[in-house]
Chain A
Amino acid sequence: MEPFPRGWKLLSVTTAITASLQVTAAPAHVDDVAFPYSGMTSRSVVSGVVAADGVAVQGADVLAIAYPAGDALDVPEGTDLGTLVVGAAGTDSLGRFSVNVDPSALPAPYVDDRGRVHLEIAISHGDREVHWTTTAVRSSHATPIGGTAERCGAYVRRDCDPGDPVYVVPGMGGSERLVVIVGTAGGRPVLPLWSTASSEAAGASVPRQLVVDLGARPSVADANDDPATWVTAPAGEPVAPVPEGEAWAPPATPPPAPSRPIGAAAALEAKLAEATPRSPAFPAIAAAIRDRSLTPAQITEGRMAAAGRSPGPCVSRVVKRHNGREETYMGVYAWSGALATVTQADGADHTLSVGTGGAHGKWSSSGSLTLSVRVGNSHTVSRVADAWAIGTVNYGVIANSCDGRRNLVPMSLGDPIKRFARAYHPALKAQCITLYGKSSVWDKDQARNVRIGGGVTVAGFSASAQSGYDTRSKLSFRPTKLTRLCGNRSVGVRLSSIIEAHKG
């Protein structure tokens, strides 16, 4: 969307983290065996930096634990998910880690039909542990990372420990910068095999980049997704598409409040993580390394999954389903002379927050999973105006048998367009284009929708939701009267993330 801000914001984060160059050494554990560190390789599925109260942590441990994918994730209450450890890494003296996963080593239940894998990333140091959940997608862009890439900003090279170097990767189809905060192995450029849904939509392939703090206020931040950019979605009364042949007029009742950024406090809250005691999964892997049934080479090659390792003695069981929760994911702003058509076809992506904790009914945000509209659930609705599109999602509570930790996880999507609720029609003026009545046709797909904070409320947890305007998700206008199509960015309607149509 914007040229540099994510990179710059990351720099401010890393600068704060690295106010001190002091490195925290790992305390001794009877089960502690150093997990291997490697720079980013083509097989990196997630990488990042671990600190404690802003000080880089050396010797922190990271595990990537795969959930079943596709229909295999959508299981009834009482089912053991059968999670699998597919990657591990340790942090170096600058707090950096990179978890490698060889796609060819992943058994079928852990990969969906598009090659995606759902991962719970566990980061542990001392007696503390935090978790983050993400969906890794297969890369489709030849975006090299490393080599002589710009470091620590678009144009300058500067010290940015502990994440040094920070690569700023230009999008291939746009100018949005994506940051990579871990150097490549040997300093050589790599072409990532793994990426994220949002990076792919931005035109580049970049695996997930995390900034983790295990200090007094534990937090996990996605270096390429600042919650400050998420927006609210105040919804009014239910509204229906306008019947064919009937005119639309705004309801006489007052509209709901406008959509706004979620605010600094909510953005900070979204980064805070629930710290839990160190789980038995780590000593189980350490023991395997110690007795040489698992080798550091297997780990750095990303072939742990081939060894079929469960995360220690622990079982992750679905203990509660919350089906049919409403997901607000797209604002549609139109008028009677240009009603909109919304399409959510089979395979359309939705990225939904995961909650962790649940102690005393309080959940903290811990990443997200990307799910797709199921075959047979394709849905197109025409003649929509000033409405939030609302679909349904099925969540489940997954309990860990060892430590009682609970995750609130989206398990499948239901009807992608269940209903509409009234939305405030924003007056956008950054740029407007004239659409001629009964002549102009405009379709948009393959871009991202804005991410909505609190798009889903489930079990007291306020989850964010984001739909992709991928090839399977589309917004269309076919005006019958002279219309002004306006965007929210000064660089034009074409590059605006929010679009509205009004009388021309």
Chain B
Amino acid sequence: MACLILLSAACPGCASEGAADGLYSASPRLVEPGDGGRQSFALRLTTQGMPYLFGGFAVCLDKAGAVEVTGVEFENAAGGLSVQAFALRPFYRGFGEDGVGWGEPKSLKRRGISTALRTVTQVCQADGSSRVEFSEVVLQTSRPGAVSASSSGFVITYSSGGSEGRFRVPFGITLCAPADKSLPLCQSQT
């Protein structure tokens, strides 16, 4: 205790010690069931205005309960990239062949995926557990202009236990325009 009193006066990390306890609230948090790191995916040939689907993003809750997803937005969006629609699909087994890929040139509607579900109740399970459950996030987006469009990731906002949460998925998406090679991932093959 004496040490903490001294520290609060001496070290910058101690200044907010008392304020950070909210992380451990009784309400569940939305997380990814693993460490995916930062990833970037680009489609080097895209058609302006064409909807593209990006799925295979598993999310789950860190404890039992339910959260209501209120929105999904791209982070650092450029070239007009926006989330046109999103869907949540519960899984109680591994993806196998059933996840949505990256850059499927379809709309959610044409793919037959409902956008009605907004709740996540699946709880993260230990790797290797016989029980598997998660919710797949599927995004629909498009390149609205003649220039290439990109993002550095997407942010899911949700409500849980009366408060709002945000969860960032660091998966960047780039949709290249044929005449615009300005973005790094839109440049030559090598």
Contacts and interface: CB of A to CB of B under 8 A. Distances in A.
Contacts of B116: none
B13 A42 contact: yes
A94 interface: no
A42 B10 CA distance: 11
Contact of B126 (A8, A42, A150, A155): A8
B20 interface: yes
Contacts of A186: 1, 4
A450 to B, nearest CB: 11
Nearest to A478: B189
Interface stretch (B23-31, B80-88, B140-148): B23-31
Contact of A193 (B13, B23, B43): B13
Contact of B124 (A175, A436, A439): A175
Contacts of B96: 429-431, 490
Interface stretch (B58-66, B70-78, B107-115, B156-164): B58-66
20 contacts: A3-B62, A5-B126, A144-B23, A171-B35, A173-B170, A175-B31, A176-B34, A185-B1, A189-B20, A191-B13, A301-B10, A429-B96, A431-B99, A436-B43, A440-B103, A441-B42, A442-B102, A443-B185, A492-B99, A494-B171
B3 A41 contact: yes
Contact of A3 (B33, B39, B99, B174): B33
A100 B43 CA distance: 49
Nearest to B102: A433
B155 to A, nearest CB: 12
Nearest to A244: B190
A445 interface: yes
Contacts of A469: 37
A171 B31 CA distance: 8
Interface of A: 1-5, 8, 38, 41-43, 100, 102, 104, 139, 142-144, 147-150, 154-155, 170-171, 173-176, 185-186, 188-193, 201-203, 244, 297, 300-301, 341, 382, 429-436, 438-448, 469, 471, 478, 480, 489-497
Contacts of A42: 7, 11, 13-14, 17
A24 B120 CA distance: 49
B41 A490 contact: no
Given A175-B34, A439-B45, A102 B126 contact: no
B14 to A, nearest CB: 5
A301 B102 contact: no
A321 B73 CA distance: 53
Contact of B24 (A100, A148, A432, A493): A148
A341 B32 CA distance: 26
A491 B11 contact: no
Interface of B: 1-4, 6-7, 10-11, 13-14, 16-18, 20-21, 23-24, 29, 31-45, 56-58, 60, 62-64, 93-97, 99, 101-103, 124-128, 132, 134, 168, 170-171, 174, 185, 189-190
A363 B64 CA distance: 46
B94 A491 contact: yes
A2 B128 contact: yes
Given A430-B95, A431-B56, 20 more contacts: A2-B126, A43-B7, A139-B13, A142-B16, A147-B21, A154-B62, A155-B63, A174-B31, A175-B33, A192-B13, A201-B35, A300-B2, A301-B10, A434-B102, A441-B41, A446-B37, A446-B38, A490-B132, A491-B134, A494-B56
Given A433-B56, A436-B43, A490-B93, A155 B35 contact: no
B185 A189 contact: no
B16 A191 contact: yes
Contacts of B36: 174, 447, 494-495
Contact of A185 (B4, B32, B93, B174): B4
Nearest to B5: A186
Which 9 residue pairs spanning A and B have beta carbons closest together? A447-B37, A490-B94, A2-B127, A144-B20, A495-B34, A446-B38, A175-B31, A431-B95, A3-B124
A142 B185 CA distance: 32
Contacts of A142: 16, 20
A41 B2 CA distance: 11
Given A193-B13, A490-B93, A491-B94, A38 B38 contact: no
A440 B41 contact: yes
A440 B24 contact: no
